[in-house]
Amino acid sequence: MPYATVTWDQLHRDARTLAATLMAHPPFQGIVAVTRGGLIPAAIVARELECRLVETVCVASYAGEEGTRHAPVVLKAPAAGDGFGFLVIDDLVDTGVTAGLVRGLLPRGHFACLYAKPAGRPAVDSFVAEVPQDTWILFPWDTAPLFVPPLARPDLEAGS
């Protein structure tokens, strides 16, 4: 499976790009972040749109790396009525199953994400970039910086 690594800088740029496109919509009264992946993009978008009301919908649908998937389960429903006036944010729409579940809870919300795979695109209203369906995205919270020795010094260890 191919991987695509998203850095903190790229994530921040893409979240600001999403916020810029969302400014064309009427002001949102609040944001619903789909946890966990939507938390950081939602915080950035909330700042850019000067939105102070941030709610969460907690959904579990993956277990472990490379996505051992199971039917999504709502762990916490949002306090956002039917979603009218709310922006729903996630990091990624993959198959659209989670987005469909959340849309069932908030049918009048505006659904936005940073990255969309082809199978999930119809489940969201706005996104920044499309990603191939077979690509696994490594978000910054999934990775850690790692020391790499210079080519001329393969014996060198971190802190040496």
For residues 97-114, give the mean pLDDT.
97
Compute the distance between CA of residue 36 and CA of residue 4 in angstroms, rounded to an integer.
19
66, pLDDT greater than 60: no
CATH topology of domain 3-142: Rossmann fold (3.40.50)
Check: pTM over 0.75? Answer yes or no.
yes
The residue ranking higher by pLDDT, 13 or 160, is 13
Q: Where are the domains of the chain?
A: 3-142
Structure tokens, 68: 């051992």
Residue 115 gets which letter from DSSP?
A: E
Which residues are identified as catalytic? 90-91, 94
